[in-house]
Amino acid sequence: MRFGLQIPNFTLGVPDDRLFEEVAGIATTAEESGYDSVWVMDHFYQLPPLGGPAQPMLEAYTLLGALGARTERVRLGTLVTGVTYRSPALLAKIVTTLDVITSGRAILGIGAAWHDVEHQGLGFEFPPAGERLDRLEEAVQICRAMFREERPSFAGRHYRIEEAWNVPRPVQPGGPAIMIGGGGEKRTLRLVAQYADMCNVTGDVEGIRHKVEVLRRHCDDVGRDPAEVLVTRMSTLVLTDSPEETERTNEFLRNVAGDAVGAFDVGEEHEILERVGELQEAGAEYFIFNMPTSGVDKVRRVGELAAKL
């Protein structure tokens, strides 16, 4: 099983001038422990469940470039970039640079964006959902073209490029893989079928099974082999040490997360292994875990656990 680590939280109890060293320590521990990839959120404000905008948040691509210089094997990407934050051509250049820095380990994770508070605070446009999805469709076409073609041109409603140079070229043949994040069944998963190499979805076993079935139907509609799209699932992982701790944690999550409780995996090691197996049977192929309140010891423990699969 291939699995990755998302680092969502930079409130690590150290002064700002030590913050990067702490994050780098998490990333290198993940690499040493068998993780295939390391991901960071592309947000400028921390999200409300993790303390909101008063908590530290590092800019994603600056951080990934620095982590690329500290690691040797893990792939690196955002989960996921908001399409509203950067022009697609600039984004393609940034991700290509990351690919060069890391000798071919970059992934472009992208989605339609959602956190309206940071858009308002920092002056980014936040158009309606339909327009954001339209922008996403144009953006992935531009990024694909700049990864794969020598001097592509594209003219859309929202973005355009004209004989765009992208030199140096990506190290990976065909450019970095493109992951589209989100489980919207009408538009997002169809965009995955049309343009992406990977998708990222959340949910419990039945939810994942349903999303995979929808994705396969979209692939059939556009004439694509579903096996060409890697289905990844992200969740917050809470390893417990007793049935009582598991029940307390689940009760807390039911109260605070409501319908989103399917985005959490809670249990003792044998329960997590069983659940991952069920999710694999439902169609999830690649697992990305975050552990917002855990340090390097828990990262290492999860790596050892995943190695048993």
User: What is residue 293's predicted lDDT score, i.e. its pLDDT?
Assistant: 72
Hey, where are the domains in the chain? 2-306
Tell which wins on pLDDT, 160 or 295: 160
Q: CA-CA distance, 243 to 220, in Å (whole number)? A: 43
Is 80 a residue whose pLDDT tops 80?
A: yes
Q: CA-CA distance, 161 to 152, in Å (whole number)? A: 7
**pLDDT tens digits along 102-154:** 999 999 999 999 999 999 999 999 999 999 999 999 999 999 999 999 999 99
- Domain 2-306 CATH assignment equals 3.40.50.1110: no
Of 287, 76, 35, nearest in space to 171 by CA: 76
Could you give the percent of the chain with pLDDT greater than 70? 98
User: What is residue 305's predicted lDDT score, i.e. its pLDDT?
Assistant: 86
**pLDDT tens digits along 21-69:** 999 999 999 999 999 999 999 999 999 988 999 999 999 999 999 999 9
Residue 220 Cα distances to 215, 225, 226, 227, 229, angstroms: 9, 7, 8, 11, 12
Calculate the CA dihedral of residues 283, 288, 290, 296 and round it to 10 degrees. 130
Q: Please report the DSSP string for 128-170 in residue order.
A: -HHHHHHHHHHHHHHHHHHHH-SS--EE-SS-EESS----SPP
Q: What is the mean pLDDT of the chain?
A: 94
Is 256 a residue whose pLDDT tops 80?
A: no
User: What is residue 258's predicted lDDT score, i.e. its pLDDT?
Assistant: 67
Could you give the percent of the chain with pLDDT greater than 90? 83
User: What is residue 215's predicted lDDT score, i.e. its pLDDT?
Assistant: 97
Is 259 a residue whose pLDDT tops 70?
A: no
User: What is residue 295's predicted lDDT score, i.e. its pLDDT?
Assistant: 80
Residue 168: asked if its preceding bond is cis (omega within 30°), the reply is yes
User: What is residue 151's predicted lDDT score, i.e. its pLDDT?
Assistant: 96
What b/e string do you get for 181-211 counting C-beta neighbours within 10 Å, with b at 16 or more?
bbbbeebbbbbbbbbbbbbbbbbbbebbbbb
**pLDDT tens digits along 154-206:** 999 999 999 999 999 999 999 999 999 999 999 999 999 999 999 999 999 99
- Spell out the alpha helix ranges (H) of the chain: 16-32, 60-70, 88-101, 116-122, 129-148, 188-195, 205-222, 243-257, 269-282, 296-306
